[in-house]
Amino acid sequence: MTYLWLIFSIFALIVSSLHMIFYKLLTKSNIPNDICISLVFIISGILSLIYLFFNRDRLKINECKLNINKLCAGAIIILLFNFFLLKSIDFSPKTSYPLLIINLNIILTAILSYFIFKEKISYKVFLGILLTVIGLSIVIYYSQ
């Protein structure tokens, strides 16, 4: 199916929105943010272990050992992202504002992909980046 990526992207969109709402609810609890994130990741780790147990025939330990640095870097990046996300939601006047800035990651990803993977940036993409930055600037300026 040619557009399967689009269906999964829509599901990711929905889960991402729920992620933001869930974190906003966590900031309203009496548990400190860093403890909340740690507990969420402990529970995620337990669920991941259960998943790996049921998919152990697909698990290639030698490949995991070779990529341990990448796996650790990925874990640190995910932890840092969630920590900064929770902090930004906690201090923001509206839950959607941090997501406006965070979703600029598409621009950073396009720029990094240009340098790392030699992907092309057309003038239309550049124009889209420019319009996005202008739109975000307007939202941030008038949100004060």
Segment 1-50, tens digit of pLDDT: 678 878 888 888 888 888 888 888 888 888 888 888 889 899 999 999 99
- Taking the C-alpha atoms of residue 100 and residue 142, their distance in angstroms, rounded to an integer, is 14
pLDDT digits (tens, 9 = 90+) for 75-92: 898 889 888 988 888 888
Residues 115-124 as b/e (b if ≥16 CB within 10 A, e otherwise) read eeeeeeeeee
User: Which pTM does this prediction carry?
Assistant: 0.73
- The CA–CA distances, whole Å, from 31 to 35, 72, 82 equal 7, 27, 16
If one counts every other C-beta atom within 10 angstroms of the C-beta of residue 97, the result is 16
Structure tokens at 98: 């941090």
